[in-house]
Structure formats: C-alpha cells, structure tokens
C-alpha cells in the first residue's frame, strides 16, 4: 500500500503545483482589493442595486462585501467548488478506471498486491493531493492578509472556510470514484458527477430567490457548503455530514471494486443489471441440488 501511495502521490505533483500555485496567485491578487472596496462601500452599494437579483444570488450577500467574510465569500469561495471540483471529479473518476481503460490495471494487479491495499493507497494519495492544494491556496490568502490593515482575521480562523471547501471536494471526488465503479467508463462517471455539481450550484443559488426550490436544495451537497460564512462560525455538523457521505462513497466503491471483473482495456458497457446479477450470485450461490435440477 505504501508503494502505491507514494507512486500515485508523486504523479500528482504537477497537479499540486499547477492548481495550488494558481490559487496562491489568485489570493495574492484579490486580497489587496479589499481595502479599495472597503473605502468605496457607498458607491459600490449604488452600483449593486442595478444588478438583477438572479445574478447576485450565486455569490452571496453583496451588502456584506466590506466585511472580510462577505468579501472572501463573494470574491473567492463562491466559485471555488466549481473550479476545484473539476479536478476532484477528474481525479476521482480516473483513480482506478483510468488505468483499467489504459490496459495497465490488470498488469499492476498481477503483482502480489491485494485489491484493498491498492485501493486504499490510491484513495489516500488523491485525498492528500486535495489537502495539499487547499493548504497552498490557504497560504495564498493568509500571506497577503498580513499586509492589509483592515483584514483582521487570524490564520486559524482563515482556514475554516477552506475546511468547508475541502469537505465538499472530498465528497464529489468520492462520488466520482463510486460512479466510475458503477458506470461503463471514466468519462460517463465524470459527466454524471459534474452534472450533479453544476446542478447543485445553480439550484442552491436560485433557491435563495425562489422558495419553491428550497426543498430540492436541501438534498444537494452545496447547501451545506459555507464558504466565507465559515469565518463567522463553522457548522461542524455540516462538515461532519459531508465527510461522512464521502466515507460512505469510498466504502461503497471499495465494495464494488472487490467484486469487479477487471477489463483488459477500453470502456465497458451499460450492463448494470448484469453486474447486479453477478454480485447476487456471489452473495447467494446456488445449492448443489438446485444446480443439479437445473442441469
């Protein structure tokens, strides 16, 4: 397991540097804007009155943009689940199935390595990759905030929104992994998970102006993502719930991988019924008398 973990994590160094440094640079650019917005709050409020409520519903309460939590929630954390969610979905959907479609998974499993060790090593590596990206992004916000006089937030408090972001990313990454175990290909798994992410983003945004959508939004993951609001107090129950579902998806993926017939290469088919029947036969094998009578 350790070898699989180290090898997979080393392969993710490019993603850590690319996504992490990109978000680090974004933080360096947006934090100095806070002082400017704080000084021009009146003019900004007059400008925002001209915008339709449908547009600003996705980004938060613009009347709080002069506060650190409101500013970060609107200018940074409101769209982070979509941006980093892209990486999480791609990484999760290809964590196992990517090698299977390339024709290398059956060769790897030919070594004296259990499926459980291989699976755990891969999952831990992608989770640590996401954590590394989050830490670099957090430094991109924390370092320039030290030079901004009106941005008086402790570094520990500043990490709370990133913790909420990490929880939602682990959820969608785990869901993409589960979809790759159930659907015929990596791209179909990424497509289904991506649709759920985008739908959750839009429905959660429109629910703030249309109460009829609120019951639907309550069942979608982004309802429990706090973003910049976590600076005013992180809801630990929401974080625990997101992490709990992420763990559930990982366990279901492991269970499905244990019963999976590894393809030599290429994509599979939409034979979910065959998969169910095969798993059912393994769980409830026919008795010898039944087999003899059927023959």
The helix or strand, by DSSP H or E, that contains position 41, with its residue range, turns out to be helix 41-48
Tokens 């980093």, residue located: 84
89: Cβ contacts below 8 Å, ≥ 6 apart: 172, 173, 176, 190, 193, 194, 197
Structure tokens at 217: 């939004």
3-state secondary structure string across 126-195: HHHHHHHHHHHHHHHHHHHHCCCCCCCCCHHHHHHHHHHHHHHHHHHHHHHHHHHHHCCCHHHHHHHHHH
The structure's pTM equals 0.83
**Distance (Å, rounded) from C-alpha 176 to C-alpha 96?**
11
**Distance (Å, rounded) from C-alpha 165 to C-alpha 13?**
21
**Distance (Å, rounded) from C-alpha 260 to C-alpha 262?**
6
Angle at which helix 236-258 crosses helix 155-182, to 10 degrees, equals 30
Tokens 């499905």, residue located: 256
The tens place of each residue's pLDDT in the chain, 295 residues long, gives: 778 888 888 888 899 999 999 999 998 888 888 777 766 666 666 656 665 655 555 565 666 677 778 788 888 898 899 999 999 999 999 998 888 888 788 777 777 778 889 899 999 999 999 999 999 999 999 888 777 766 777 778 889 999 999 999 999 999 999 999 998 888 999 999 999 999 998 888 778 777 888 888 888 998 899 988 888 889 999 999 999 999 999 999 999 988 877 766 555 555 455 555 555 555 555 544 444 444 4
Burial class (CB in 10 A: 0-12, 13-18, 19+), 164: buried
């Amino acid at each position: 397991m350790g070898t699989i973990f180290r090898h997979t994590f080393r392969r993710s160094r490019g993603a850590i540097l690319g996504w992490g440094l990109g978000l680090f640079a974004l933080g360096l650019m947006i934090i100095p804007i806070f002082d400017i917005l704080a000084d021009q709050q009146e003019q900004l409020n007059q400008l925002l009155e001209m915008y339709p409520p449908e547009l600003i519903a996705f980004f938060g309460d613009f009347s709080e943009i002069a506060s650190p939590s409101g500013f970060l929630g609107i200018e940074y954390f409101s769209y982070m689940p979509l941006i980093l969610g892209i990486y999480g979905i791609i990484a999760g959907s290809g964590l196992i199935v990517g090698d299977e479609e390339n024709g290398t998974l059956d060769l790897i499993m030919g070594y004296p390595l259990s499926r459980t060790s291989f699976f755990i090593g891969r999952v831990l590596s992608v989770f640590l990759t996401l954590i590394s990206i989050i830490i670099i992004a957090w430094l991109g916000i924390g370092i320039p905030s030290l030079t901004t006089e009106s941005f008086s937030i402790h570094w520990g408090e500043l990490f709370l929104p990133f913790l909420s972001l990490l929880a939602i990313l682990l959820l969608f990454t785990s869901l993409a992994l589960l979809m790759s175990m159930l659907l015929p290909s990596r791209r179909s798994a990424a497509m289904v998970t991506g649709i759920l992410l985008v739908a959750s983003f839009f429905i959660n945004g429109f629910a703030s102006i249309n109460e009829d959508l609120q019951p639907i939004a309550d069942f979608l993951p982004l309802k429990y993502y706090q973003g910049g609001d976590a600076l005013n107090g992180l809801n630990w129950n929401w974080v625990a719930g997101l992490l709990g579902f992420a763990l559930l998806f990982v366990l279901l993926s492991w269970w499905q991988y244990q019963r999976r017939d590894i393809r030599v290469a290429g994509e599979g088919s939409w034979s979910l019924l065959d998969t169910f029947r095969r798993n059912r036969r393994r769980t409830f094998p026919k008795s010898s008398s039944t087999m003899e009578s059927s023959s």
